[in-house]
Amino acid sequence: MIYYITPTYPRPEQIPELTRLGHTLMHVPRIHWIIADDQSLCSTNVLNLLRRTGLPFTHISSPKPYVYKGTNFPRGVSNRRAALVWLRENVREGVMYFGDDDNTVDLQLFDEIRRTKKVSMFPVGLIGDYGISAPIIKDGKVVAFFDSWPGSRTFPVDMAGFAVNIEFLTPTATMPYSAGHEEDKFLMSLGIKLDDIEPLADNCSKVLVWHTKTVKFKKPNLKIDIERISKLPK
Ligand code: UDP
Ligand code: MN
């Protein structure tokens, strides 16, 4: 079973993003979708969408701490943490993966991550100045990382670039509120070494997931719209 953890928050793009992702997940066997709202209540719109997919799901909510405002705050952390707690309390085996609501995933990724014994890694497209973030492989082992922002990280990888076998979700496993270091600190909290990492996607030579971003929708100017409508010929 793959546990696909998606943090999400309300904005005009939320339902379109989740519709697209949900329609990808509907092609995947043995998948359980954990949708984690960053609000104090689970959104009814999101719940209706989840029900319509017919997928097994868990819908939880965990509001982000009010201190995190502005642009450079740890995004989707309280909700991912809540998903981790739910997994630890309810699931003994399977593979977990952090899949944001706006990413684009090739169906082959699911066949790949299902094989994760401990921690697997693979490239993510459309990241930073290099356009990609990927482990570098030598003799079938991860020896370094190609990422335009090393940021003094031990594991400079994107959130979408790794999967973890739930057996290795230790009691100390958590994600700190540390903007830019969420992935690294989560992987460090698992106590893994470079040698433990299983490279997937043909020795990390293929991109099977992209960090796509949607242009933010501008609020329409309703006054102008109404004027235009009133000018339509009768
Ligand atoms: N997110 C969230 N709360 C927020 C901002 C983002 O739960 O206040 C979620 C968002 O829905 C996405 C993930 O966290 O699944 C990453 O956020 P975003 O895509 O905005 O960040 P980026 O990919 O640009 O780093
Ligand atoms: Mn994103």
Model pLDDT, residue 231: 76
Q: Which of 112, 182, 183, 198 is catalytic?
A: 183
Q: What percent of the chain has pLDDT over 90?
A: 86
β-pairing, 104-105 with 209-210? antiparallel
Q: What is the average pLDDT across 106-116? A: 98
Rounded distance between C-alpha atoms, residue 125 and residue 132, angstroms: 5
pLDDT tens-digit map of 189-204: 999 999 999 999 999 9
Model pLDDT, residue 229: 75
Whether ligand 1 lies within 6 angstroms of the CB of 8 is answered as: yes
β-pairing, 57-61 with 124-125? unpaired
Which residue's CA is the nearest one to ligand 1's atom 5? 75
Given pLDDT bands bounded at 50, 70 and 90, which one contains residue 164?
A: very high
Structure tokens at 145: 């990382």
Say which range, 144-148, 204-208, 227-231, has the weakest mean pLDDT: 227-231
Given pLDDT bands bounded at 50, 70 and 90, which one contains residue 99?
A: very high
10 contacts: CB under 8 Å, gap ≥ 6: 39, 43
* b/e code 30-53 from CB counts within 10 Å (16+ = b): ebbbbbbbbeeeebeebeebbeeb
Q: What is the mean pLDDT of the chain?
A: 95
Ligand nearest to the CA of 79: 1
Task: Record the pTM.
Answer: 0.95
Ligand 1 centroid, distance to 76 Cα (angstroms): 5
* ipTM attached to this prediction: 0.99
Rounded distance between C-alpha atoms, residue 205 and residue 221, angstroms: 46
Which residue's CA is the nearest one to ligand 1's atom 19? 102
Rounded distance between C-alpha atoms, residue 95 and residue 79, angstroms: 18
177: pLDDT strictly greater than 90:
yes
**Residue indicated by tokens 């990808």:** 24
Given pLDDT bands bounded at 50, 70 and 90, which one contains residue 70?
A: confident
- Type of residue at 90: N
DSSP secondary structure letter of residue 92: S
With CA atoms as reference, report the closest residue to 113 among 186, 196, 213, 209. Answer: 209
Model pLDDT, residue 210: 98
